[in-house]
Amino acid sequence: MTLLVTGGAGFIGTNFVLDWLAQSDEPVINLDKLTYAGNLESLASLQGDARHVFVPGDIGDSALVNSLLASYRPRAVLNFAAESHVDRSIHSPEDFIQTNIVGTFRLLEAVRAYWSGLAADEKSAFRLLHVSTDEVYGSLGAADPAFTETHRYQPNSPYSASKAASDHLVRAYHHTYGLPVLTTHCSNNYGPYHFPEKLIPLLIVNALAGIALPVYGDGMQVRDWLYVKDHCSAIRRVLQAGRLGETYNVGGWNEKPNIEIVHTICDLLDELVPPATRNLPFASYRALITSVKDRPGHDRRYAIDASKLERELGWTPAETFDTGIRKTVQWYLANPEWVAHVQSGAYRAWVQTQYAAA
Structure confidence by residue, pLDDT tens digits, 125-173: 999 999 999 999 999 999 999 999 999 999 999 999 999 999 999 999 9
Pairing status of strand 222-227 against strand 255-257:
antiparallel
**Residue-level pLDDT at 99:** 94
pTM confidence score: 0.93
Would you say residue 86 lies in a domain? yes
Task: Tell me if 262 is assigned to some domain.
Answer: no
C-alpha 207/C-alpha 250 separation (Å) is 30
Question: Domain of 168: which CATH number?
Answer: 3.40.50.720
Specify if 336 maps to a domain: no
The residues facing 246 across adjacent strands are: none
342 located within any domain: no
Question: 95 is in which domain, residue-wise?
Answer: 3-193+225-253+302-320
352 confidence band (pLDDT: 50, 70, 90): low
Number of independent structural domains in the chain: 1
Strands (E), the chain: 3-6, 28-32, 52-56, 76-79, 127-133, 181-186, 188-190, 213-216, 222-227, 247-250, 255-257, 289-292
Say if 205 falls within a structural domain. Answer: no
Q: How far is CA 109 from CA 33, 41, 60, 77, 116, in A?
A: 19, 31, 10, 13, 11
For residue 289, being part of any structural domain is answered with no
Domain-embedded: residue 215: no
Predicted local distance difference test score (pLDDT) of residue 153: 98
Catalytic residues: 134-135, 159
Whether 185 is in a domain gets the answer: yes
